[in-house]
Copies of this chain bind each other. A is one copy, B any other.
Amino acid sequence: MAVDTVEFSGSGERRELVGGSATFAALSCGLFSPVRLVGVVGEDFPKSTLEALRRRRTDLEGVQVVPGETFRWHGRYSEDLSSRVSLETHLNVFEHFRPKLPTSWRDSKMVLLGNIHPSLQAEVLDQVDKPLVVAADTMNFWIQGTPKELRALLTRVDLLILNEEEARELTGHRMVARVGRELRALGPRRVVIKQGEYGAYLFDEHGVFHSPAYPVDQVLDPTGAGDTFAGAMLGYLSAHGAQAPDRRTLRRAVVVGSAMASLCVERYGTEGLLEVTPDALDARVRAFGRLVHTDAEGD
C-alpha cells in the first residue's frame, strides 16, 4: 500500500496518488468477492481509501496502521508511458513490515502473494492452512537477487502471474510458448504471462490461451494495471468455483482481468477502480468478445 507521486510528460505531476499492489488488487478483486487484505500503512494513508476498500467488501483486519509515513514512491513515465524510472523510494513503515495474518484467516481458500521478498511470500503462505489457489507475482529484483528462495516458493504456487520480460529472465528463453512451458515445469500449474499493451497468455492444463489488451484510445496512467489484472482474475475465480475451475472459467478470468486493467489505465491511480461499476465492466468484457471473435456469435 503506497502513496505515490507520478510525473507524466503530457499531463504533469500527480501528487498523493494512492497506490500499491495490494490497494489495486483489493479494489479490483472486491468487485467479485470479499477480500482479506494484508499490508501496512502509516498515519498519512487516506482514510477515504480505507473506507472505499471496506465498501468493496475488504476486511482490513490484516492491515497494520503504524506511526510514521506510508511507503512512498516517486516516479516518472516516459512520454509514451512504455517505461518509467524511480526517482525516489521511501520504504517508511514498509521497511520493517512482516505480513501477519489474523489467526481467524488461516482458513483462507485463495491467496494472492504480492511482489515482495519470496521468503516473506512464503511466510504468508505458512499462515494459511489449506489454500485451494495460491497465486503469486514477482519481479526481476527477486529473480536476480534471491533465485533460490524464489524457486522454492514456486513449488508452492498454483498460479504464477508475471510480466513477459521477467518470465524470459526467469527461464532464459524468449519465445512465449517455450517460456510458458518452462515456467510450469518450475511448479505452477497455471502461468499467466502479461505483455502489457499486447495482452496476456495463460498456460494451463487445458492448453494455451491468449487475450489481447483492450485497445483503449488513451492511457493516462499504467500504474497498477498488473495488480488490477491479478486482483480481478482471483476475484473472478473465487466467485466462479476456485476449487476446480474449468477451461472456460480460467480463460474468462484472464479476459475479466484484462478488462478491469483497461478500465484502470484510463484514469489516474486508483480512480478508475473506484469509479467502475459492474455494468461498465460487463460492457468492456463484451467488447473483448467482439474484438477477438471472427463470428458474429462472438458478440
Contacts and interface: CB of A to CB of B under 8 A. Distances in A.
Interface string A201-215: 100000111111001
Copy total for this chain: 2
A219 interface: yes
A292 B210 contact: yes
Given A209-B291, A292-B210, A215 B177 contact: yes
B212 A175 contact: no
A296 interface: yes
A290 B252 contact: no
A215 B219 contact: no
Contacts of A207: 290
B201 A198 contact: no
Given A198-B198, A294-B251, A210 B208 contact: no
A209 B177 contact: no
A248 B291 contact: no
B216 A177 contact: yes
A216 B290 CA distance: 25
Instruction: Determine chain A's interface SS by DSSP, over half rule.
Output: mixed
A7 to B, nearest CB: 18
Interface residues of A, number: 35
A198 B175 CA distance: 11
A212 B177 CA distance: 13
A219 B175 contact: yes
Contacts of A209: 291-292, 294
A217 interface: yes
A124 to B, nearest CB: 31
* 10 A-B pairs with the lowest CB-CB distances in the bound complex, closest first: A198-B198, A177-B215, A251-B294, A210-B212, A292-B292, A176-B215, A252-B294, A177-B217, A210-B291, A80-B174
Given A177-B216, A209-B291, 9 more contacts: A80-B174, A175-B219, A176-B197, A177-B215, A195-B198, A198-B198, A209-B294, A210-B215, A210-B292
